């Protein structure tokens, strides 16, 4: 009976609109700020806490909570319990989400006829503001690495991305208070916290840290292609502009861009690559602009280096991704990659 009900409800399943997804996974432009919460519920694996919250601000982890310790742990020096009057508000939100996750995951597993096995229920919720002050928000759920539900902020409604979510979508949309709660959190609470964290960070004692830049050449196995990678790492704050320049004047746009990623020490890294022919006689250089630099940094590629990296000297900051629990990030990466592949 349940399976038939789900089958008949598939007509109510929608592909998540691209404009909604782009608000979450799109590139963060210079001057913008964002606050994201990654929530994960795990059933069937006692190795990890059954509920985890990771808070990210501008690409760096700032807070952590799980159901085992039931404490909020700050990961930055400017967010401390004795200095933030709203600390109890953060804990209350985490506890509320933990209870909600446990209840909704139990119903979801019954609906999907899932029993003993490892199952993961996830939520990505957050808000951001761009350099012009325009604000955007997104709230999305996933189950076992697949899209489940997404909140459409413009129309204040939930959209089912899976046939398993249709009944829950209808119930949440019918409950006006439930829809309004999600909208109020995004429009008021999330943006209020984001604005406050921007001020906290600006007042913190962290100074600007200039980037280290290196060019790494790599030939393809067949020797037909030479990949030049400009690795920029160890810089703070996050905003940076990296470009490849040909013959000192032409900006190249056919590049591979890693996105701006966090290092372990509150700094960031980025990689931008181009492909050329090994016999190419043109000159190439990597151009970097950052607020810590008095002028644009121009690092030329030297083909005489015989495969050795061209490096602007400086302290090399570790390039490992920031220390978030592997299960949390791995789960969201699987979710993201599966979504992009649709």
Q: What is the pLDDT of residues 244-296, one digit of tens each?
A: 999 998 899 999 998 888 887 678 899 999 999 999 999 999 999 998 888 99
pLDDT bracket for residue 183 (50, 70, 90): confident
pLDDT bracket for residue 331 (50, 70, 90): low
Which range of 45-59, 88-102, 113-127 scores highest in mean pLDDT? It is 88-102
Chain position carrying tokens 């890693």: 258
Give the Å distances, CA to CA, from 22 to 28, 30, 74, 136.
11, 17, 29, 11
Q: With 50 as the cut, is the pLDDT of residue 315 above it?
A: no
The continuous run of DSSP H or E covering 235 comes out as strand 226-235
CA dihedral sign, ordered 194, 199, 202, 204: negative
Q: With 50 as the cut, is the pLDDT of residue 105 above it?
A: yes
- Tell me the helices (H) and strands (E) count for the chain, helix number first: 7, 18
Q: What is the structure's pLDDT at 321?
A: 29
**What contacts 133, CB < 8 A, 6 or more positions away?**
none
- The answer to whether the beta carbons of residues 149 and 138 sit under 8 Å apart is no
Whole-number Å distance between alpha carbons of 145 and 330: 10
Domains of the chain: 2-205+324-340 (3.30.500.10), 212-311 (2.60.40.10)
- pLDDT above 90 as % of the chain: 31
Largest CA distance in the chain: 72
Q: Which residues of 190-209 are buried (b: 16+ CB within 10 A; e: fewer)?
A: bbebbeebeebbeeeeeeeb
Q: What is the structure's pLDDT at 335?
A: 52
pLDDT bracket for residue 309 (50, 70, 90): low
């Amino acid at each position: 009976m349940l399976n038939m009900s789900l089958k008949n409800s598939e007509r109510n399943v929608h592909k998540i609109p691209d404009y909604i997804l782009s608000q979450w996974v799109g590139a963060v432009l210079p001057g913008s700020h964002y606050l994201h919460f990654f929530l994960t519920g795990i059933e069937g694996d006692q190795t990890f806490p059954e509920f985890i919250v990771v808070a990210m601000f501008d690409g760096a982890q700032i807070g952590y909570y799980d159901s085992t310790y039931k404490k909020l742990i700050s990961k930055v020096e400017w967010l401390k319990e004795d200095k933030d009057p709203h600390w109890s508000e953060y804990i209350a939100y985490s506890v509320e989400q933990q209870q909600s996750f446990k209840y909704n995951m139990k119903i979801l597993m019954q609906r999907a006829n899932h029993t003993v096995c490892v199952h993961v229920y996830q939520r990505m919720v957050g808000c951001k503001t761009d350099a012009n002050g325009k604000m955007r928000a997104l709230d999305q759920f996933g189950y076992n690495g697949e899209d489940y539900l997404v909140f459409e902020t413009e129309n204040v409604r939930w959209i089912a991305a899976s046939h398993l979510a249709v009944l829950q979508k209808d119930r949440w949309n019918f409950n006006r208070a439930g829809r309004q709660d999600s909208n109020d959190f995004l429009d008021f609470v999330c943006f209020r916290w984001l604005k406050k964290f921007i001020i906290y960070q600006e007042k913190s004692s962290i100074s600007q840290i200039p980037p280290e830049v290196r060019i790494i050449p790599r030939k393809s196995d067949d020797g037909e292609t030479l990949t030049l990678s400009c690795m920029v790492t160890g810089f703070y704050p996050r905003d940076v502009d990296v470009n490849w320049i040909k013959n000192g004047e032409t900006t190249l746009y056919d590049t591979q861009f890693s996105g701006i990623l966090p290092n372990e020490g509150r700094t960031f890294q980025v990689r931008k690559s181009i492909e050329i022919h090994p016999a190419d006689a043109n000159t190439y250089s990597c151009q970097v602009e950052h607020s810590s630099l008095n002028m644009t940094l121009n690092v030329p590629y030297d083909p005489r280096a015989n495969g050795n990296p061209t490096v602007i000297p400086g302290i090399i900051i570790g390039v490992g991704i920031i220390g978030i629990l592997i299960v949390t990030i791995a789960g969201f990466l699987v979710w993201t990659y599966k979504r992009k592949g649709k």
